[in-house]
Amino acid sequence: MQQWEFDQRWKRGVMGITLDEAQKVVAVAVELSRSKGVRTAIAVVDNAGSLIALARLDEARSYYPDIARGKAMATALWDGTPSRQLAGQSGSNSVQQAVNHMYGGRIVFAPGAVPIMRGDEMIGVIGVGGSGPESDEAIAKEAADSLDN
């Protein structure tokens, strides 16, 4: 995103995801995970990759929240590019390597994160980890789409 695009978004009053919205998206993802019988963690970040909401289902592995957040951060930092499209590029993309290094290696380039939209504006990102790439992405997408904008 160019600086002028960023400035225009703020001039139009585009507000990022609220805590209430983030918690609603997380609640949907938790219910989807339970209905599929998978133990996941779910992270919602704002457009800058800062954490807004996080949940870890009972018996989910201790590192799943970090995976979910890392996937969400990748999508946020790459202006809403779903993490599936970023997956597999980190080994050959020096920019991805540099940014990941700047964030202490916390960015995860793997399927499971999608943008959360309000109209045609990205307001945040949901990342899911713990149920495998296809399931993580499906849960994230359905939860993101559930937000009544």
User: Could you tell me where the DSSP H helices lie in the chain?
Assistant: 3-11, 19-36, 64-77, 83-86, 94-102, 133-146
**Domain membership flag for residue 137:** yes
Query: Which pLDDT belongs to residue 91?
Result: 58
What whole-number percentage of the chain has pLDDT above 70?
Answer: 87
Could you tell me the residue range of the domain that residue 73 belongs to? 16-146
- The pLDDT-based confidence of 131 (bands split at 50, 70, 90) is very high
**Domain membership flag for residue 28:** yes
**Domain membership flag for residue 67:** yes
**Domain membership flag for residue 11:** no
**In the chain, how many domains are there?**
1
- The pLDDT-based confidence of 3 (bands split at 50, 70, 90) is low
Q: Is 121 helix (H, G, I), strand (E, B) or coil?
A: strand
**Domain membership flag for residue 81:** yes
Query: Which pLDDT belongs to residue 12?
Result: 46
- The pLDDT-based confidence of 33 (bands split at 50, 70, 90) is very high
Residue 44 forms beta bridges with which residues?
Answer: 53, 126
* 106 vs 77: CA distance, rounded Å: 12
Instruction: For residue 78, give Cα distances in angstroms to 64, 99, 115.
Output: 21, 10, 10
- In the structure encoding, which two tokens stand for residue 76, read together? 């946020």
The structure's pTM equals: 0.87
**Domain membership flag for residue 1:** no
**Domain membership flag for residue 9:** no
Residue 32 sits in a domain whose CATH number is 3.30.450.150
pLDDT greater than 70 at residue 90: no
**Mean pLDDT confidence for 35-64:** 97
* 21 vs 139: CA distance, rounded Å: 16
**Domain membership flag for residue 7:** no
- The pLDDT-based confidence of 11 (bands split at 50, 70, 90) is very low
